[in-house]
Chain A
Amino acid sequence: MSWNEIVGMVVIGVGVAFDALGCLGLLRLPDVYNRLQAGTKCVTFGTCGILFGIFIMNGFNSLGIKALLGIPFVLLTSPVGAHALARGAHIFGVKLADKTVVDHYADDRGDKPRL
């Protein structure tokens, strides 16, 4: 194995580990908003790590350039979708978890807090 395959395997391994931890948070956390935060951040960084590792393994051929092009697309679209989903869930009226003490977003919107 040459050096770029070894470095690429390590970077892809870091990305897969982030994906697994994000899915663990998706299963274990108590609330929609907590699940969205854990899932979206970890899975976005993990998918970017996988694509960057594929770019390191392949270099500047067609597969590597397309993988490198996918990184800004994931970084742009996934947080926007998660933000829209969190806003929609708050308007829909999903309760926050039991240990939550404050809901500033409801105060900003002039709505009753979802506690």
Chain B
Amino acid sequence: MNTYLIILIGCCFACLIRAWLGKSIPDRMVAIDIMGTLAVGLTAILAIITGRSFLIDVALAWIFLSFIGTLALAKYLAHKTLDE
């Protein structure tokens, strides 16, 4: 179980490397979006390891927060502004 946690943390660092290298603004946004989905699985595995069931609630909330953030970033990309 700890091996899975270490692999997922490595995946999050890979996303951070992509967000750092970038080359364009949508590259960084894609990396942060995928890191949000990875964090859901990481929090769920952490709930198994520590045995505390409130961490799965954190994962459920994280899904929707990541979704709303991604939609806001996509709207900014399409129209160059957040109010319309």
Contacts and interface: CB of A to CB of B under 8 A. Distances in A.
Interface of A: 9, 12-13, 15-16, 19-20, 22-24, 26-27, 32, 35-36, 39-40, 43-44, 46-47, 50-51, 54, 57, 62-63, 66-67, 69-70, 73-74, 77-78, 80-82, 84-85, 87-89, 91-92, 94
B82 interface: no
Contacts, number: 141
B26 A26 contact: no
Interface string B63-75: 1101100110111
Interface of B: 1, 4, 7-8, 10-11, 14-15, 17-18, 24-27, 29-31, 33-34, 37-38, 40-41, 44-45, 47-48, 53, 56-57, 59-60, 63-64, 66-67, 70-71, 73-79
Given A70-B59, A81-B71, 12 more contacts: A27-B14, A35-B27, A44-B37, A54-B48, A67-B44, A73-B64, A74-B37, A88-B73, A88-B74, A89-B26, A91-B77, A91-B78
13 contacts: A19-B11, A23-B34, A26-B18, A43-B37, A63-B53, A70-B59, A81-B33, A81-B67, A85-B26, A85-B30, A85-B74, A88-B74, A88-B78
> Per DSSP, are chain B's interface residues mostly helix, strand or loop, or mixed?
helix
